[in-house]
Chain A
């Protein structure tokens, strides 16, 4: 019996994980179906657009500009080892647009938006505001979840596009300011090198990461335990889950776009 105990524990953990995957999948399907059927809550949707999109711009912009600048420095110093310093514009562009732009924006959204959605909805649950919504004939999935997930699906790709541009600008500023690159040549190399698929993959990743980030915030908020500890656990769990899912989805999407 003692020898089998670890196997039993492994089995229980696997079953618990699969059950959670099932619950999250059902929750996602429910959120999707509520997004498509009336009533629609325009005010909630507008507030979510503002929170996820507009108010995330500073953190996204700062993350992108520093990352772009650091990337230019790294590629220049790394490329100098085999006389390939000239590829800085191309590698910055491809690195930012294909990978760093969407992933960093996704992770910033997980840190900023997933946590705030989870904490807000969990607090509403703990203080019976979710029950109050139900007694007022309002479906929390429609009123709280659908607007937030829809807003993230729409606005995070736009944030990624903004992040891509600012990231490339960060690389451009460092390269032309300190590494001696010609400004016009840098921009021409960047534009010539990028392909439509690079940009499409970036936006698709943004859409997927935004959806995952909002969904995790809503799921953990709606399933929060009681009290301050429940809210804390929901917030922590939502950010962990969103970050891991974003990185896993990034791997799968990169494979789907570029390994064929």
Chain B
């Protein structure tokens, strides 16, 4: 491709990035305002809305729930997703093609339909309490990441190394843990991170699976917004953006951010 960019195209792209980043800057500004209502540019500078987050018990409680659900759901999805990804790559020609399609289904089915159906069949239909339902729902929601991102790592893994270890008498599980896993480490970490952030941010599935006393942070934010329109929400948003920064740092350190364009 030519390396010269027409100035008009360059200007357009600059405007697009302004469009993408300005709203986030506005949130940061609004979170620092010393007013009782949301405004930008901030009037007076104050960190009191950040302090206010910690005064509101519901935010603390739902943040903990969100973290627990994201950790457990992601761990569960890796626990069942990594073996599936391994089999799909190791026995590629022998396994039926529909099997790999099956693990993409959670992307294909609208999340809101999935959340509603899960509530109907599992939470109410089978009487499963809300908390484990949330974990199962999130595990399934992020399963495609576990299978596909780890799968992408496995695709470039040379299985003859594994055969060498096994033919020298190394038992299968130990071979997997000491030979295969170190080679796909970056993929597993990236899958974990992408799944984790998807779970933390999820609304469509969680909105159906909140019960008495149990809710996730994004759902709590939505509920708070319906009653109060003060800078607290902006402060919570800033904290969530800091989580995003951390996540990006981890992706960059493991696979590199350009991985996301593949």
Q: State whether these chains interact.
A: no
Question: Which residues from chain B sit less than 8 Å from chain A, CB to CB?
Answer: none
Binding site for B on A (CB under 8 A): none
